[in-house]
Amino acid sequence: MKFPKVIGRHELRNAAVIGSVAGLAGVLFFIILLSSMNLTTEQQQQADSGKANDEVIPVQSNEVMEDNSSVVFYANQYGVFTSAESAQDFISEYPVLNTGATVEVDGKYYVWSSVTTTKEELILSDNPTSFAKSFKFTGAACTEETLKGLPKLLESNDPSKFYFQDGNIPDNIPQDWQSITSALSSFSQDLGIARVHLIAHYFEKNDCMKIEF
């Protein structure tokens, strides 16, 4: 009977080395495989993210929406007062202000003689001193269309847009417009004077009308 050959120390050492090398190679292969999978996943995520970013990029429109409810005007301003009485006392001292108006904005009383659509149209005064005061008149908060479109209507320099003959009153103006302009025409045909009184009137009577400096 033959017995199996006894394995010596040398053979055991070789086997151990081979086993270690094989194990290390397996670990390295696993690490490389795992890294490759992670890299592929990251690349896929980046690609998906890039697609998502491409999808959400807003397209800017070259079209500009026209705002018919707000217009910038220029007032010929003579002073600002803390009370209506003080403003009225100031106006009474100067005949040039007899056709002017007082406009209350945020508790302050502004004395204006006229309102124009451009700064160059204003005729400034030296006695008393006046200066150009720019402001935006807006009806954006108004639900009534005649009030919302009022600033745009006041922007016109065409007298026929302010004064109407033979009762030919358009539908896009407030109901009391005709009575106000008729009264104004009795002492002045100046559109700047008409404009300041119309702004003062509709701003005071309608909370939705705003004046912004």
In the chain the domains, ranked by start, together with CATH numbers, are 70-212 (3.30.70.1070)
Q: Give the per-residue pLDDT at 203.
A: 98
Q: Give the per-residue pLDDT at 64.
A: 45
What is the model's pTM? Answer: 0.69
Rounded CA-CA distance 169/160 in Å is 10
Q: Give the per-residue pLDDT at 169.
A: 82
59 backbone dihedrals φ, ψ, rounded to 5° = -95, 115
Q: Give the per-residue pLDDT at 132.
A: 98
Q: Give the per-residue pLDDT at 45.
A: 58
Query: What DSSP letter does each residue of 158-206 carry, written as one string?
Result: -GGGT--STT---TTS-TTHHHHHHHHHTT---HHHHHHHHHHHHHHH-
Average pLDDT per consecutive 10 residues, the chain (213 residues; last block may be shorter): 51 53 51 52 55 50 62 98 97 95 97 97 96 97 95 95 82 91 92 97 97 97
Q: Give the per-residue pLDDT at 171.
A: 87
